[in-house]
Amino acid sequence: MARFGRRMAGVAAGTAPHAPFPASMPASATVAQPTAAATALSAVPFATLFILAVLGAVFLREGPDPSLATLRAMGAVSGDLVLNDHQWWRLFTAPLLHGSVDHIVGNAVVLLVVGILLEPLIGRGWFAATFAIGGAAGALASIAYNDPAMVSLGASGAIMALLALALVCAFNDEASARRRRLMRRVFYWMALPSLLPALFAPVAHHVDYTAHAGGALAGVLMGMLLRMLWQDGAPRPVGQWWGGAIGLAALLIAAGGMFLGGSAPAEAVENLPPLIPDEMIPDSAGAAAERSDLFVAKYPGDPRGHLFRAIHFIRSGDAADAEDQLRTALSQIPPVSKVLAPGFEPHVRLLLAEVLAGENRQDEARTVIAPACAYVGSQMGEPLAARHVRRLGLCL
pLDDT in tens, 302-325: 999 999 999 999 999 999 999 999
Is residue 268 predicted with pLDDT exceeding 70? Answer: no
Q: Are 197 and 204 in contact (CB under 8 A)?
A: yes
* Amino acid of residue 281: I
So what's the pLDDT on residue 318? 94
So what's the pLDDT on residue 111? 94
**Do 287 and 366 fall within a single domain?**
yes
Q: Does 349 map to a domain?
A: yes
**Do 265 and 295 fall within a single domain?**
no
- The pLDDT confidence band at residue 37, using thresholds 50, 70 and 90, is low
pLDDT tens-digit readout, 204-260: 446 788 899 999 999 999 999 998 998 887 888 999 999 999 999 999 999 998 877
Instruction: Among 269, 295, 322, give the residue marking a domain's end.
Output: 269
Q: Which of 33-37, 137-141, 292-296 has the lowest mean pLDDT?
A: 33-37
Q: Does 7 map to a domain?
A: no
**Do 305 and 376 fall within a single domain?**
yes
Higher pLDDT, 135 or 347: 135
CA-CA-CA-CA dihedral for 135, 210, 62, 284, to nearest 10: 160
**Do 54 and 88 fall within a single domain?**
yes
Is residue 382 predicted with pLDDT exceeding 80? Answer: no
pLDDT above 70 as % of the chain: 76
DSSP class of 77: B
- The pLDDT confidence band at residue 261, using thresholds 50, 70 and 90, is low
- Distance between the two ends of the chain, CA-based, in angstroms? 80
- The pLDDT confidence band at residue 135, using thresholds 50, 70 and 90, is very high
Q: Does 13 map to a domain?
A: no
**Do 205 and 258 fall within a single domain?**
yes
Higher pLDDT, 193 or 369: 369
> What residues pair up with 203 in beta bridges, in sequence order?
208
- Closest by Cα among 57, 72, 13 to 263: 72
**Do 93 and 217 fall within a single domain?**
yes
User: Could you tell me the CATH number of the domain that includes residue 321?
Assistant: 1.25.40
Query: For 249, what's the count of Cα atoms within 13 Å in the CB-facing half-sphere?
Result: 11
Structural domain total, the chain: 2
Instruction: Among 269, 286, 313, give the residue marking a domain's end.
Output: 269
pTM of the model: 0.64
**Do 260 and 343 fall within a single domain?**
no
Distances (CA, A) of 118 to 30, 132, 248, 332: 30, 15, 19, 50
Q: Does 36 map to a domain?
A: no
Sign, Cα dihedral of 155, 158, 161, 165: negative
**Do 290 and 165 fall within a single domain?**
no
**Do 254 and 308 fall within a single domain?**
no
Domain housing 222: 41-269
